[in-house]
Structures are given as structure tokens and as C-alpha cells.
Amino acid sequence: MSTDEVILIIDDTKQLLFDGKEFSEPTEKNIKECFVAHSLEQSSIRYHGFKALKSISDEKIEIQSEMKMFDEAGLDPELDFSIAHSIIELENSDENYIEVYAIEESELHERFDSLISKNHNLDFIFPEYLSYTALYEYDILERKNDVFIYFSDEDSYAAIFKSGKYISATKIDSLQKIAQKVNVKPEDIRELLQNKGVEEHLYLPEEFLTMTNVQEEMSKLVERVSHTIGHKRGIFGLEHLDNIYLDFDGCDIPGFLELFSSYGYEASKKEKLQVFEEMEASEVHLAINALYSLGFFQEKYSAPNLSIFHRKPKFLKTHAGQFLSLLGLSLICSAIYPIYTLVEIENFSQQELELKAQVAQVQKRTVKLQKHFKMQKDKRALLRKDRESVNNRLSSYSLMLNTLENFEENILQRQEMIKDIDLTMKRYGLSSKNFHYKKDIIIIQIISQYDRRDTIAEFMKELLVKGYSHVHTQGIQKNEHYYESFVEIQR
């Protein structure tokens, strides 16, 4: 697949080809050869954050992310979700901050099935507010402590970056919601903000009430963003802000950014975001999203991917295809070697007869010819040894292929176990304090209310009914306000 260009999906009817600098209309060839991406607005995503030790493996972080989303973020265990996470490094700490994102799979199918029927692929689906990362990775912006405030008709947010690395985002009122609050028609709010903003002298006397409402709502918005920055300061060590950027189709909102000075950001530089200046203003934010997608496919950074529509690789590029190709090649080699060896043996035998006849006639050449004969004999032995080596590799490839198949099966079994356990715990009003996963066994520390000791036993019975071969506990301990027990569950 080409990583020089990417196709950004705008909606069911519009998609654009991006080469890192400009957009163009994709051809049928582009659709087949390029990766395809789409950004998700913040309002579509369920997200949750927690801390985890830096020493924890990626597999355990993935398991914890799934458990936290169901147990703490309130995902319905009876529904299927696409879940992904980002690891945000915490300085001077033995922990990282994990931000987890989830969206219901049925929603993804509802939004993209018609597109998939045409394009067949949607390789990358990501939270839109992460896309500013690309501006730093492609050296468009200097790596500093920045906030990006983005406005659109239906989804608006503020994204916070420390030294060019994403740390947090918060939802703010969309243009439609602002229009509703200030009692302005939705189709007029964009023009009002761009032309008059919060500057009192730009309004007519009869617009005094509108001006007051706009100032009040935009001040509330700034307060919300400032509160989020203050909260993240303690977690991520965000000591100051260098820049506050307004991402509003390349336009300014008169007086809006200056409101941040009242919240302690007098020294921060405040300006509209100016990137991709040769593009139409309406395409600039799309270009940021497309550049982030391009950077993901070019492996400039890792990124959470919520897509469930991954393209199927060509068979020979899959692990199974490569192993089977090697297997077939080895089998051919194994079949050829015996024939080749027989031919060689026959040739050597003929040469031996000729050499014997020549020995009697040419005494001077005897030593040389005997030495040549020995070399041919050693070569024959080497061929036999190579054939044994090929047979050994065949056995190794077969074992590796079985290992791959078992690995995929283990992942599916683990996800099913997590879902069963979480659903059963919710049914009996139980909660978990800790868990450990090893191969096909989950050990979970369960807590029950003081007056409901029997629920732990009922929980274990139901898992046995579900077909788990081993559900065992060392005993149920009584604490001051609750019962707890370590339960070992095996598929």
C-alpha cells in the first residue's frame, strides 16, 4: 500500500485524496492503493482515563482498558464496542496516564456500511482532537505548550498539548448550541462571531442584548477551558501556556482570545491558527486531520484506531500465506533433492569408471583425479545434509503456523471471558478491586456488600453454568464493611 497519499472520508458522498500538501479528487486506482481514514467528532466517543504503572505490559494495559470502560465508564457489557487507548507519559513518575476511547460497533456499521460497500476498506478511525499532533511531527509548529480551540456547527472542543504532545481535551459548546443560547439563527451565528465577536463597539445599539448574551456565553466557554487547563496542570506538570490557537476556518473572533488574559494567561500568545495557508479556509481543518492520518500510516507515531473495517491483506502478505509459501517451497525442494542426488550419484559413478580407466593410462594425473573425486563425494554428502535441514525447517514452520492460530483464538477467548465476568458481576451487584490474567485463567478480587455475602457464591455458580471448567476461591473474607474474595476462573 502507498503511504505517500491518504484518502480522507468526509461523508458518505465525499472523500478527498491528500498528499501532505493539498487535496484532490481520488481516482479508482487511488481508492485501491491508498489507505483510507476518517475522524470522529468528540461527541461520538465515550472516553475514560486512569493511571497504570509504566512496567505493565501492553497486553495488560489493553485488558485494563477494556475492564475500566465496562466497570467504571458504564459501557453496556451486552453490546459490542470498538475500544482503543493512548498512553500519555507522566514525567517524574513510575506511572503513565491511559486515555481510553470507545464507540459502539453498531454505530460504526450504521455510519460506514454503505461506504464500505463501495470502498471496501476504512483503515483508520480516530478521535479528531488528536490530529493537531501532526503539526508538531511534521515541524509545522514548534513543540510548545499549546491549546487549540476548534469551533464547528455540531462539535467543538479545546485540545491541550504539552511540548507538542497531546495530554487532554474538553468539549465546548458547538456553534448551533451557542446560537440557541444567544437567541440567534443557526445560519447567522458564524457570521456574527467572525465579524463582531465579543467586541462591544462592533454592535449596533439595538443589538445590545445579543452582544451581552454573546459575551456571557463566550466567557463561560473560556472559563471552562481554563478550568480544564488548571486541572491538567497538576496531573501533567503543565506549568505555563505558550500559545492559544483559534481553529475557526482560518477566521478570528474579535476579542475572544483576549478573554483568556482574565484567567492568568496574559503572557500566552493568542492568535488564529495559520497553517496550510494556500488552501481554502474551509479545508484547513480537514487537512490537519488528513496529515494526522498520513503520519499514522507513515509510522511517525502510534495512534488509537477505532476502525473495525480493516482491509484483508493479500494472502501472500499474511503470516499464514508466508508460512504456506515457504512450506510449499520447502516441499518442492524436498521432492527435488532426492532426484538431484540420484542424478549426481549416477554421474559420480560414471566418472569413477572413467577415472579408473585413465589411471592405468595416465599415472601422472592419478592424484589430481582422485582429489577431484573426493570433492564430488563430499558434495554429495552435503546435499544429503541439506535435505535433512529442509525437513527440519518444515516441522518448524508447521509449529509456528499452529502458534499463530492459537494466539488469535486466545485473544477472542480473553475478550469473551472479560465480557462474561463483567456482565455477571453487574447482575449480582458486585465490584472488582483487582484482577490478574495469565494464559486462560483470570484471577479477580471481588467485593460484596456486607449484607449480601451469598452473591459471591451465586456469581461463581453462574459462571460454572456458563460452561467455565474451573471457578474456585480460597475463601470469602469478612472486612468491616464488606466481604471480599479472590476468585480464580478458567475457561
Q: Judging by beta carbons within 10 Å of its beta carbon (0-12, 13-18, 19+), is residue 406 exposed, middle or buried?
A: exposed
Let me know how long the chain is.
Answer: 491
Distance, CA of 417 to CA of 424 (rounded, Å): 11
Beta strand residue intervals within 214-253, DSSP E: 243-247
Determine the 3-state secondary structure of 309 from DSSP.
strand
Order the strands of the 46-53 sheet from edge to edge: 46-53, 95-104, 81-89
The pLDDT score that the predictor gives to residue 469 is 82
Q: DSSP states of 441-457 as a string?
A: EEEEEEEEETT-THHHH
Order the strands of the 156-162 sheet from edge to edge: 165-172, 156-162, 146-150, 243-247, 269-272
Residues 6+ apart with CB under 8 A from 42: 127, 128, 129, 155, 157, 169, 171
Determine the 3-state secondary structure of 396 from DSSP.
helix
- Kindly report, residue by residue over 305-336, the tens digit of the pLDDT: 999 987 766 544 445 555 555 665 666 656 56
Distance, CA of 106 to CA of 89 (rounded, Å): 32
**Is the whole-model pTM more than 0.75?**
no
The pLDDT score that the predictor gives to residue 30 is 87
Whether residue 168 contacts residue 228, with contact meaning beta carbons closer than 8 Å, is answered with yes
The pLDDT score that the predictor gives to residue 191 is 95
The pLDDT score that the predictor gives to residue 315 is 43
Residues 6+ apart with CB under 8 A from 417: 442, 489, 491
Instruction: Supply 13's cell numbers.
Output: 458522498
Going 383 to 385 to 389 to 392, the CA torsion angle's sign is positive
Instruction: Supply 140's cell numbers.
Output: 509545522
Identity of the amino acid at 32: K
Task: List, in sequence order, the alpha helices (H) in 315-452.
Answer: 319-361, 366-427
Scan for cell 482503543, then name that residue. 84
- Kindly report, residue by residue over 148-197, the tens digit of the pLDDT: 999 999 999 999 999 999 999 999 999 999 999 999 999 999 999 999 99
Distance, CA of 377 to CA of 480 (rounded, Å): 84
Whether residue 309 contacts residue 112, with contact meaning beta carbons closer than 8 Å, is answered with yes
Q: Judging by beta carbons within 10 Å of its beta carbon (0-12, 13-18, 19+), is residue 452 exposed, middle or buried?
A: middle
Long-range contacts of 187-190 (CB under 8 A, 24+ apart): 190/153
Determine the 3-state secondary structure of 310 from DSSP.
coil
**Helices 186-195 and 208-236: crossing angle, nearest 10°?**
80
Instruction: Supply 3's cell numbers.
Output: 503511504
Residues 6+ apart with CB under 8 A from 270: 243, 244, 246, 257, 258, 260
Distance, CA of 140 to CA of 279 (rounded, Å): 15
95: closest CA among 87, 84, 83? 87
**Helices 454-465 and 366-427: crossing angle, nearest 10°?**
130
Q: Are strands 243-247 and 165-172 parallel, antiparallel or unpaired?
A: unpaired
Residues of the chain with pLDDT under 70: 312-343, 346, 352-375, 390-391, 393-409, 450-451, 453, 480-481
